[in-house]
């Protein structure tokens, strides 16, 4: 059971707790009740009754996955409080502890009468809902946005949901307060043809809904991704002209719309590409007015979108004018996303715009000037300065020049280290603090940074290596995965010739990792069984690797969703392509051609969903709304495994796909610089295939920044500098070193793509039969 914290501390002296029959343990967002009830009374009912009486009358958000006890804010659920993702069935199997948007109890779990009664009351306590919901358009803590049909009229509508006490912003307003504000603003803007019509405001049960006009079209963000020529290979002059005219039209519309909104006395306060719908006929419509306010109000918007807001432009119409200037830059060159780190990037963006687009002289500079103007005269300098003045304009073959860059990146990583902290050694993505990772793993933690520095020839400070070993040895809730757990840490230490500690940590991994209670059913390379099997191979434990591989290769596993659980995406580290790489390694050891058959089946699981965009085969997310041209998830990683497979067997369809995939690395513009999901993916792919990398090395300067006099890079979402392997400087160090010197070996990623030919390998595979 758990409850929402009230504004008042719950009185629970230690002496009282010792005598009572339940214990309250407070945490930041919830508290738990652990029963100590003797005798025949049901412990949960007794504990709930006592706890409920203590918090009765306190309001709080409804926990969708739980069952509310009486009037709340006490909740109960069947499962674990601690972050343990599985439950143990009566026959000893580990199954997922599912936490969805409704309360549920496993089929095999007993349901006491008092809980069954509460479930029945909840089922009967429902208001009629006069809409048929077709699909969710967006989810947030405060509520969802849904496409629906009105049962009374048949009209297609959008429902904007708000849950009480949820989605609290920095000003203390919850989702319901913002919904009431949006209702007021929509009424003020009624009649404008670029604002959806408000039909009604209804309350169903405890949730509020605005029923608004459905606008057919795509978000401006999606339009940018699909249309921007610099995100596609080899754009023609006509494509650049057409796109430039389209941007001018979009920005012109927004200027006119903004003037009309301001005439109505409203500041939008969150003008950004996902809040702009472009109709099929090209007309723009504004949506999402929850943070809007009246001109002259002292209101402070509680929410803002990074890249389209500025701390020095947070009052009045300046908020909107800055956002419009940022949109203008974004549509040509999305450097606005990292201006908060280095404002000098505005001038770099200006140069890029003038260089690539058919615009008048100084056009880019006007865009940069507008950002400075609407930021109050000049953009805040940011935490990091640009490093472009030191960026070489030299080919990868000029190793002496690029060695200076490699040294600076390595120095920047070491300068950012914090061995005095207990939670992490190097700054990186927030994922390093996820459950089962605790700042140690290969992808986001210390192991990945240490390995990258070592592989690139840097000496690792003893204090850093001992930090990794000590923290791993004392960790009790560390996962087993290759990129986020013990397997990857063991792999790293083996490469650093710390074999004793490496084998110590490897011994903590169970024989059947995908049936343990840490990462159930995860069969991928990143966190699951395939990555662990590859680690066993690295350590010479071939039998354990074969046992895992045999289960993964079973025909019953021929479903991509058995490899990657949502929200994992297709590709190398989380999809079936990673299994294919494992099967290749098992073939290398056994010469059994059945592994090649399994590898081919696994590759087709990913390739079956491939689509073509601008003549390039692309993997997309399951929902189809994201192209994935990356190493960890998407086409580049899969292309490496396809290339690897062609060393063993000639598969004409694979050869044709690979020819198209090679154009993946031709676009000039990437949003992020990182190894797993950015320009680093493209550099590593070209380096592994011994293809030219010169252009990407030059363009990497667009993301390069200054940290204490050294080169550094922003991580995922470009919110902060990162040093980790997946998103930050360590991964870029590996990619750059691979391009300038020799490819860096990374676990689970095809490394030697220049062995025997597929014809020779085919003879070898027949010999293995």
Neighbours of 436 (CB within 10 A): 21
Distance CA 41, CA 50 (A): 13
Indicate the SS3 state at residue 35. strand
Look up residue 304 and give its two tokens: 């803002």
Q: Do 673 and 724 form a contact (C-beta atoms < 8 A)?
A: no
Sheet with 207-213, edge to edge strand ranges: 131-138, 145-150, 156-162, 207-213, 198-204
* pLDDT value for 302: 83
* pLDDT value for 239: 97
Core vs surface per residue 216-239: b (16+ CB within 10 A) or e: ebbbbebbbbeebbbbbbebeeee
Distance CA 144, CA 154 (A): 21
* Sign of the alpha-carbon dihedral angle for 17, 23, 26, 27: positive
Distance CA 41, CA 35 (A): 11
Please, is 527 exposed, middle or buried when counting C-beta atoms within 10 Å of its C-beta (0-12, 13-18, 19+)? buried
Active-site residue, 270 included: yes
Indicate the SS3 state at residue 272. coil
Distance CA 530, CA 481 (A): 9
With helix as H, strand as E and coil as C, how does 443-476 read?
CCCHHHHHHHHHHCCCCCCHHHHHHHHHHHHHCC
Read off the pLDDT of residues 507-540 as tens digits, 9 standing for 90 and up.
999 876 655 544 556 889 999 999 999 999 999 9
Of residues 242, 245, 234, 231, the one with CA closest to residue 333: 231
Of 97, 169, 174, 270, the active-site residue reads 270
Q: Are strands 198-204 and 721-722 parallel, antiparallel or unpaired?
A: unpaired
Q: Could you write out the DSSP letters of every residue in 155-199?
A: -EEEEEEE-TT-S--TTS--HHHHHHHHHHHHHHTTT-TTSPPEE
Q: Are strands 145-150 and 156-162 parallel, antiparallel or unpaired?
A: antiparallel
Question: What does the DSSP 8-state code read for residue 5?
Answer: P
Mean pLDDT per block of 10 residues along the chain (769 residues) reads 40 31 34 41 81 83 81 79 68 72 82 83 77 91 93 96 91 93 98 98 92 98 95 94 99 98 98 98 98 91 92 92 98 96 95 97 97 94 71 96 97 98 95 83 98 98 98 91 96 98 95 57 89 98 96 73 58 94 98 97 90 80 68 93 95 91 89 96 96 96 95 94 98 98 97 59 39
The residues, ordered by sequence, that sit 6+ positions from 170 with a Cβ below 8 Å of its Cβ are 302, 303
Between the alpha carbon of residue 107 and those of residues 95, 111, 112, the distances in Å are 12, 10, 13
Count how many Cα atoms sit within 13 Å of the Cα of residue 74 in the half-sphere of its side chain: 21
Count how many Cα atoms sit within 13 Å of the Cα of residue 619 in the half-sphere of its side chain: 29
Q: Do 369 and 378 form a contact (C-beta atoms < 8 A)?
A: no
* pLDDT value for 560: 59
Distance CA 666, CA 662 (A): 8
Count how many Cα atoms sit within 13 Å of the Cα of residue 494 in the half-sphere of its side chain: 19
The residues, ordered by sequence, that sit 6+ positions from 459 with a Cβ below 8 Å of its Cβ are none
Q: Tell me the β-bridge partners of 33.
A: 24
* pLDDT value for 112: 84
Q: Tell me the β-bridge partners of 200.
A: 211
Look up residue 547 and give its two tokens: 């046992």
Of residues 670, 650, 663, 636, the one with CA closest to residue 749: 636
Q: Could you write out the DSSP letters of every residue in 111-132?
A: --HHHHHHHHHHHH------EE
* Sign of the alpha-carbon dihedral angle for 143, 148, 150, 155: positive
Q: Do 577 and 603 form a contact (C-beta atoms < 8 A)?
A: yes
Q: Where are the alpha helices (DSSP H) in 211-337?
A: 220-227, 237-263, 318-332
- Domains present along the chain, CATH in parentheses: 59-124 (no CATH), 131-213 (3.30.200.20), 228-375 (1.10.510.10), 400-740 (1.50.10.10)
Question: What does the DSSP 8-state code read for residue 634?
Answer: B
Distance CA 675, CA 448 (A): 12
């Amino acid at each position: 059971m758990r409850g929402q914290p009230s504004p008042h501390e719950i009185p629970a002296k230690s002496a009282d707790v010792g005598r009572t029959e339940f214990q309250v343990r407070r945490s930041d967002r919830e508290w738990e009740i652990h029963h100590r009830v003797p005798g025949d009374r049901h412990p949960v009912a007794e504990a709930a009754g006592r706890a409920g009486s203590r918090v009765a009358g306190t309001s709080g958000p409804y926990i969708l996955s739980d069952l509310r006890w009486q009037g709340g804010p006490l909740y109960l659920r069947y499962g674990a409080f601690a972050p343990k993702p599985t439950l143990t069935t009566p026959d000893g199997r580990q199954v997922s502890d599912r936490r969805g948007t409704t309360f549920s109890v496993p089929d095999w779990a007993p349901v006491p009468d008092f809980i069954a009664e509460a479930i029945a009351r909840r089922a009967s306590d429902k208001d009629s809902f006069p809409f048929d919901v077709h699909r969710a358009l967006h989810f947030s803590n405060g509520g969802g946005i849904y496409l629906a049909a009105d049962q009374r009229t048949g009209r297609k509508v959008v429902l904007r949901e708000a849950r009480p006490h949820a989605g609290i912003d920095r000003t203390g307003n919850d989702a319901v307060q913002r919904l009431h504000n949006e209702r007021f603003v929509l009424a003020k803007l009624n009649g404008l043809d670029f604002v959806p019509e408000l039909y009604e405001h209804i309350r169903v049960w405890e949730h509020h809904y605005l029923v608004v006009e459905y606008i057919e079209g795509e978000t401006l963000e999606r339009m940018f991704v699909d249309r921007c020529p610099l995100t596609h290979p080899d754009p023609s002059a006509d494509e650049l002209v057409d796109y430039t005219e389209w941007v001018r039209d979009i920005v012109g519309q927004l200027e006119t719309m903004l003037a009309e909104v301001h005439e109505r006395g409203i500041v939008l306060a969150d003008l950004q590409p996902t809040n702009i719908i472009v109709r099929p006929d090209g007309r723009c419509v504004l949506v999402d007015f929850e943070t809007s306010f009246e001109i002259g109000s002292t209101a402070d918007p509680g929410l803002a979108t990074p890249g389209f807001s500025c701390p020095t432009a947070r009052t009045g119409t300046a908020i909107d004018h800055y956002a419009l200037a940022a949109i203008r830059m974004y549509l040509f060159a999305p450097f606005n996303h990292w201006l908060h780190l280095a404002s000098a990037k505005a001038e770099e963006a200006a140069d890029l715009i003038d260089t690539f687009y058919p615009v008048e002289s100084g056009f880019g500079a006007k865009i940069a000037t507008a950002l400075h103007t609407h930021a109050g005269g000049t953009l805040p300098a940011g935490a990091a300065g640009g490093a472009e003045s030191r960026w070489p304009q030299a080919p990868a073959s000029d190793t002496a020049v690029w060695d200076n860059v490699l040294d600076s990146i390595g120095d920047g990583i070491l300068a950012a280290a914090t061995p005095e902290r207990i939670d992490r050694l190097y700054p990186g993505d927030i994922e390093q603090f996820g459950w089962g990772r605790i700042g140690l793993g290969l992808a986001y933690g210390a192991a990945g940074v240490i390995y990258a520095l070592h592989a690139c020839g840097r000496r690792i400070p003893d204090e850093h290596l001992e930090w990794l070993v000590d923290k791993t040895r004392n960790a009790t809730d560390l996962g087993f995965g290759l990129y986020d757990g013990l397997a990857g840490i063991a792999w790293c230490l083996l490469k650093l010739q710390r074999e004793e500690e490496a084998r110590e940590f490897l011994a903590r991994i169970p024989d059947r990792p995908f049936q343990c209670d840490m990462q159930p059913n995860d069969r991928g390379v990143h966190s699951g069984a395939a990555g662990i099997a590859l680690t066993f191979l690295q350590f010479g434990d071939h039998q354990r690797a074969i046992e895992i591989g045999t289960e993964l290769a079973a025909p019953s596993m021929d479903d991509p969703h058995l490899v990657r659980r949502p929200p994992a995406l297709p590709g190398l580290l989380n999809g079936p392509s990673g299994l294919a790489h494992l099967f290749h390694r098992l073939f290398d050891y056994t010469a059994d051609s059945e592994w090649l058959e399994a590898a081919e089946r696994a590759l087709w699981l990913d390739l079956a969903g491939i689509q073509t965009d601008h003549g390039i085969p692309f993997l997309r997310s399951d929902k189809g709304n994201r192209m994935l041209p990356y190493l960890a998830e998407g086409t580049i990683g899969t292309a490496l495994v396809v290339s690897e497979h062609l060393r063993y067997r000639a598969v004409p369809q694979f050869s044709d796909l690979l020819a198209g995939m090679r154009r993946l690395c031709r676009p000039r513009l990437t949003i992020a610089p990182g190894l797993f999901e950015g320009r680093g993916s493209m550099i590593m792919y070209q380096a592994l295939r011994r293809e030219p990398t010169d252009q990407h090395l030059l363009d990497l300067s667009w993301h390069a920044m200054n940290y204490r006099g050294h080169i550094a890079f922003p991580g995922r979402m470009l919110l902060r500098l990162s040093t980790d392997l997946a998103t930050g400087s360590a991964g870029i160090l590996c990619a750059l070193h691979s391009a300038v010197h020799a490819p860096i070996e990374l676990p689970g990623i095809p490394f030697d793509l220049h062995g025997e030919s597929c014809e020779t390998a085919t003879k070898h595979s027949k010999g293995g039969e």
